[in-house]
Structures are given as C-alpha cells and as structure tokens.
Structure 1
Amino acid sequence: MMDFMGFGMAWMWIFGLLLLTGLVLLIVFLVRALSAGPNRGSRRSGEATRARGILEERYARGKLSTEEYQERLRILNENS
C-alpha cells in the first residue's frame, strides 16, 4: 500500500510542476504581449523617420526639385 501512495504522490508533484510551469509561461507571454503592443511597429516607423530625414537632406542640398520632394514625401506617408 505504501508503494502505491508514493507513486501517486510522484504524479501529483509532476502535475503540480507542469501546472506551475504553464502558469509562469502564460504570465511571461501576457507581459510581453501587453508591454510590446503599441510599439510593435517601432522598427518600421524608425525606418520611415530615417527615410524622411534622408529625403529632407537631399532636398536641402538641391538634389531634388520641390515636385520630386513632395511626391516622394507623399509616397513615404502612404507607406508608413
């Protein structure tokens, strides 16, 4: 009878450990999802900001006409 109870206790420990691990993973997943929610597009917006800066620099140096600058800026704003 003692062996059976010991085996049952082992399963309870394994089940408890799996349950605890699952809860920890769920909490980690939720924290990451909620904290990174609004910033998921930050890389893309950073690329758009960099592209806009390059465009402004080229316009300031006279490498682009006003029409070219406005057209490319319009395209950038549509894509970002």
Structure 2
Amino acid sequence: MMFWFDHDVSGWGWFAMSAGMILFWALIITVAVLLFRALERPHEHTRTPTGPAPEQLLAERFARGEIDEEEYRRHLSVLRGAGPGTHP
C-alpha cells in the first residue's frame, strides 16, 4: 500500500507540465506556419522574365522606324556578344 503515497505532482510540477505543453504547441504551430509560407513562396530560380527580350525590343524599335538599319545591326551585334565592330 505504500505504493500509492507520495506520488502526487506538486504545484511546480503542474506549472512545468503546463509550460511545457504550451511551448510544445507553440513550436508545432510555428513550424507549420513557416512550412506553409515556404511552400507558398514562388521560387526565385523558376521565375521567368515578364518583359520582352532585348532583341525583340530592338526589332520593334527598328520596325517603328526609331532607328535605322545600321544602328539596328550595331546594337544587335553588341547584344549577341559579337562586339561593336563586327556585323553578323
């Protein structure tokens, strides 16, 4: 019968259990929120450019008559990396 005596949880034990349970659930909720935010955020390496390509913009300027053929070819060679003196 001695087994049933002196096994009660003291006031500090209840406090420690309550604080531990609150910290446990706070940790679980924080991890869930951070995981949700990470999954909802678009990845930076998968983004595509939203505007037209530089060569397309150059072609549109040439088509509108804003630049002449020589300037178009010069800019196009610079964009393609051939250098300003080389024509494609």
Asked if 1:46 corresponds to 2:13, the answer is: no
Q: Runs in 1 of length 4+ with deviation above 4 angstroms?
A: 50-53, 74-78
5+ unaligned residues in a row in structure 1: which ranges? none
Show structure 2 runs of 5+ residues with no match: 1-8, 82-88
Say what the alpha-carbon RMSD is for the aligned residues: 3.0
**Aligned pairs, number:** 72
Greater helix content: 1
What does residue range 1-80 of structure 1 map to in structure 2 within 5 Å?
1-32=9-40, 35-36=42-43, 37-39=45-47, 42=48, 45-47=49-51, 49=52, 52-76=55-79
Compare relative contact order (CA 8 Å, sep 6+) and give the higher one, 1 or 2: 1
TM-score for both structures, normalised by structure 2: 0.53
Normalized against structure 1, the TM-score is what? 0.56
